[in-house]
Structure 1
Amino acid sequence: MTYMLDDIDEAIDRKFLVTKTMNNQAEAGTIVHIMGAENEKDGSISVFYRITYTKQDFVIKFDSLKSFCKWARPDNFIARHYESFNIKEIQQYIKIKDRNFTNFCLPIILGALVIIWALCMLIGKGSGGAVVIGILMSVIAAVAIILVYRKTKHDAMLRLYSKVSSNWGVNFK
């Protein structure tokens, strides 16, 4: 999922979560503070930023505002609780947040359908019973994959919230 800005000036003096590692600068999963930005004459954008935990300053150039938005996005949850997580947990959070039906469930469902129908046609040789079993198994597979998708997304987010809330006296389960 891409967060879009109308102008690069909207990003100045805000914290962003880096979603893609670039040029030996900020690793995916780090929080950066955008300190300044310039629109270049050729349409590209130069962004001046500081990595929050190392206090290192960098300049990076993007072809467009869209490419900047693919590189980093605002994320208040991670920005507030950055110290509570390690880099692998944040990268997992990014992966989970970027999942959607079309890029996660649909390929798995299509693969399952191909396998189910191939088995039904080989074993049943096209009989009416094989078609009914194929339809039934297709529906069961699709529902199961969607439920697993929702459950894994929910469990991953719940793990992160539980880790943050461990000092609050509140238990998310």
Structure 2
Amino acid sequence: MNYLLNIDEAIDRKFLVTKPMKGQADVGTIIHVMDAEQQGQAVIVYYRVTRYNEKFHDYQDYTAKFENLSAFCKWAQPDNFIARNYECFSLKDIQHYIKIKNRNFTSFCLPIIIIAALIIWAVALIVIKGVPGIIVGAVLTVLVAFVALYLLKAQKKKEKMRLYRKVSAGWGVVFQ
């Protein structure tokens, strides 16, 4: 998935790391891209990792080289919601959010549809023979596809709402 047209768009933005880079940034870490340059197809990124502690903020600067812009976009994605509210979430929350956010039709829905369709068609053709079995199999297969799509969208929405509730837990109106 490519989010940028060129690497210059990444400068002075925050990104959510979705794949670990040994010794530098773990999954769920927010990085701030300070500078970047293009060398042919390769991309060199200078970034800062900030680690939040209860008493202080620690940061370290790193340099990473990627074979192309697409490789950088697979490693880190722009995510303003997590970047703005990073202190409110645990690493487990952020990693779960990444897992849910990266689900798509082929990685989540298609396996469910294929397995369900195999079971439905086996039962429909063995138990309900003939044309009625074919009709029941087709209708149930289409129904499973719609349910799988609904589950995908509902999970993404539910996860986002769970994180919004965590962020807004301390909000309130004070009347004096």
Task: Report the TM range for the smaller structure's normalisation.
Answer: 0.7 to 0.9
Match of 1:95 in 2: 99
Q: What is the TM-score of this pair, normalised by structure 2? A: 0.85
SS of the residue 1:61 aligns to: strand
Distance in 2, Cα, partners of 1:12 & 1:29: 20
Which of the residues 27, 46, 49 maps onto 1:48? 46
SS of the residue 1:16 aligns to: strand
Relative distance call for 1:150 and 1:38 in structure 2 (3 A) is: closer
Structure 1 stretches of 5 or more lacking a match? Answer: none
Which of the residues 157, 163, 167 maps onto 1:164? 167
Letter in structure 2 aligned against 1:105: C
How far does residue 137 in structure 1 lie from its aligned partner after superposition? Answer: 2.2
2:14, 2:78 within 8 Å by CA — same for their partners in 1? Answer: yes
Letter in structure 2 aligned against 1:154: K
Q: State whether structure 2 residue 36 is matched by structure 1 residue 37.
A: yes
How far does residue 96 in structure 1 lie from its aligned partner after superposition? Answer: 1.9
- What's the CA shift string for 1:63-96, capped at 9, x where partnerless? 0111111111211100110000011111121122
Q: What is the TM-score of this pair, normalised by structure 1? A: 0.86
How far does residue 3 in structure 1 lie from its aligned partner after superposition? Answer: 4.2
Aligned length: 167
Distance in 2, Cα, partners of 1:32 & 1:103: 27
Match of 1:104 in 2: 108
Match of 2:55 in 1: none
Greater CA deviation, 73-82 or 112-121?
112-121
Distance in 1, Cα, partners of 2:48 & 2:144: 47
Which of the residues 133, 137, 142 maps onto 2:136? 133
Match of 2:61 in 1: 57
Relative distance call for 1:9 and 1:118 in structure 2 (3 A) is: same
Identify, as 1 or 2, the structure richer in strand.
2
2:2, 2:69 within 8 Å by CA — same for their partners in 1? Answer: no
- What's the CA shift string for 1:138-162, capped at 9, x where partnerless? 2332232222222222211110011
Which of the residues 68, 75, 81 maps onto 1:77? 81
Distance in 2, Cα, partners of 1:159 & 1:49: 29
Kindly report which structure 2 residues correspond to 1:1-40, keeping only aligned pairs within 5 A, or say none: 2-40=1-39
Distance in 2, Cα, partners of 1:46 & 1:68: 9
Q: Would you identify which runs of 4 or more consecutive aligned residues in structure 1 move more than 4 Å? A: none
